[in-house]
A and B are shown apart, each in its own frame.
Chain A
Amino acid sequence: MSTRTVLSQADITRALTRISHEVLESNRGPDGLVVLGIPTRGVVLAERIGAQLSSISGVAVPTGSVDVTMYRDDLRRNPTRASQPTRLPDGGIDGATVVLVDDVLYSGRTIRAALDALSALGRPRAVRLAVLVDRGHRELPIRADFVGKNLPTSAAERIFVRLHGVDDDELVAIEGGADS
């Protein structure tokens, strides 16, 4: 099994900075933005993006988390997993432009579950999606608005994302695939 690093810590930092600028540009500023990460690593990314948005724009952009465990469509196929906290900022999400953040976009089912979760939490004006890595193989009509890196992969390969705050180091790596 071979493992190769596709994003270094520096690459990740640059990608998040670029995403933050793109968000501000597409939203024409910071107004109404709420950044919500999908646990676990999406929350780390959301906090960093939120901090960057605040520092670039000079306005505090609220962040939080939205857990999707209870909304997944594959519960019956897997052992039960423990849920994670859902923490919304004090202002809630009604009328806000929610930027959902996750580390890897794959089949799209996690994002579908997140949209269901959001609809139970309030009524945003709009929902955007920012991901660190898009590895293709969508099973639902879901598209990311902001992407750190497009990484075409085969289904046999595995993507690892490690981030400070959750892991000891920071990188994105691909493992495996039809090996020679």
Chain B
Amino acid sequence: MKHLLSTADLGRDDALRILDVAEDMADVSTRQVKKLPTLRGTTVVNLFYEDSTRTRISFEAAAKRLSADVINFAAKGSSVSKGESLKDTAQTLAAMGADGIVIRHPASGAPRVLADSGWVDAGIVNAGDGTHEHPTQALLDAFTMRRRVHGDASRGRDLDGLEVLIVGDILHSRVARSNAWLLRTLGAHVTVVAPPTLLPVDVSRLGVDVHYDLDEAIARVQPDVVMMLRIQQERMAEAFFPNAREYARSWGLGAARFRSLPHAALVMHPGPMNRGLEIGDDAADSPRSTVREQVGNGVAVRMAVLYLTLAGDREDSL
């Protein structure tokens, strides 16, 4: 794999390969020596144009467990503030000998522009671009589901037949998009639930079913997994829904709605959670909640991604 930019372009074999390698990487974290020499001598740069301590730390831990050298580059740059351009930053990193660049950027498509530009010859990993994709999040979500469903027999298995509900601000969510494509590739069926204002006008290229009513969706779909997305503060002021109370009442996973879920259904959330808004304590703290293990699985999945994009002979492409 040369780059990991999206899950829309990720075929089933490549997706399973990442998940299977992640299984072995997860084992490393249980050993006394939590380190592999695999990326020794390579330089991985975390190029984060958006604040995100959690994701950045996860990538940093992943790179270090593979013995890579990590440089954190917190760049400011938006069309408004006219900070250093993406091109100049990329050329600086190239001059510094970056082998891999993990990029999070507020503009959808920025990792693609960087990968196609020729400004730098490094493996590019998309850590979230605008409202477009967040492939490693979807991969760690799929890894988590697979482990919960198949346990130790996960290797080589996909998610065939799994029913997944994704609830929340689909319109602005790169997590929702990446999950929609990856889950479908792995054989799962995805239904999105949101008020119409938080859904794209045309979802036909996402391959999902749509419901406006969460209770009805739960009853009809009988989901194996319910993934709650975070509602961002900015949306409150922009007329997408009247107020937080109405949102929580209709689309929040409160106590009663949590009890109405199929008894084995998993509850997932990419974090950080707005307790009391999109998710309540009963759901978030139950044994069926995977929120904490999603964090640990994130390091293993990101180790697999870094290994597969940076370890090989740089010629083979995704």
Contacts and interface: CB of A to CB of B under 8 A. Distances in A.
Interface string A71-87: 10001111110111110
B316 A121 contact: no
B155 A75 contact: no
Given A75-B311, A76-B313, A70 B155 contact: no
Given A83-B21, A86-B27, A71 B313 contact: no
Interface stretch (B33-41, B110-118, B197-205, B252-260): B33-41
B307 A80 contact: yes
A90 to B, nearest CB: 13
Nearest to B24: A83
The 6 closest A-B pairs by CB, nearest first: A80-B312, A120-B33, A70-B38, A70-B36, A79-B316, A83-B24
Contacts of B36: 70-71, 120
A75 B313 CA distance: 7
A67 B311 CA distance: 16
B121 interface: no
A84 B24 contact: yes
Given A75-B38, A76-B312, A121 B24 contact: no
Given A75-B311, A116-B37, 4 more contacts: A70-B37, A75-B312, A79-B315, A83-B20
B21 A82 contact: yes
Contacts of A76: 311-314
Nearest to B312: A80
B167 interface: no
Contacts of A78: 312-313
B299 interface: no
Interface string B282-316: 00000000000000000000000001100111111
B220 interface: no
A113 to B, nearest CB: 9
B82 interface: no
B308 A80 contact: yes
Nearest to A82: B17
Contact of A67 (B24, B66, B307, B312): B24
A172 B276 CA distance: 65
Nearest to A71: B37
B23 interface: yes
A67 B21 CA distance: 11
A82 to B, nearest CB: 5
A76 B41 CA distance: 11
B206 interface: no
A120 B34 CA distance: 8
Contacts of B208: none
A119 to B, nearest CB: 8
Nearest to B36: A70
Interface string A110-141: 00000010011110000000000000000000
B17 A79 contact: no
A79 B1 CA distance: 9
Contacts of A80: 1, 307-308, 311-312, 316
B313 A79 contact: yes
Nearest to A81: B312
B312 A70 contact: no
Contacts of B21: 82-83
A120 B38 CA distance: 13
A78 to B, nearest CB: 6
Contacts of A83: 20-21, 24
B246 to A, nearest CB: 48
B155 A120 contact: no
Nearest to B23: A85
Nearest to A80: B312
A73 to B, nearest CB: 9
A85 B314 CA distance: 25
A89 to B, nearest CB: 14
A92 B38 CA distance: 23
20 contacts: A67-B24, A70-B24, A70-B36, A70-B38, A70-B66, A71-B36, A75-B38, A75-B311, A75-B312, A76-B312, A77-B313, A78-B312, A79-B313, A79-B315, A80-B1, A82-B20, A85-B155, A86-B24, A119-B33, A120-B36
A75 to B, nearest CB: 5
Contacts of A70: 24, 36-38, 66, 307
Interface string B1-43: 1000000000000000100110110010001110111100000
Contacts of A121: 31, 33
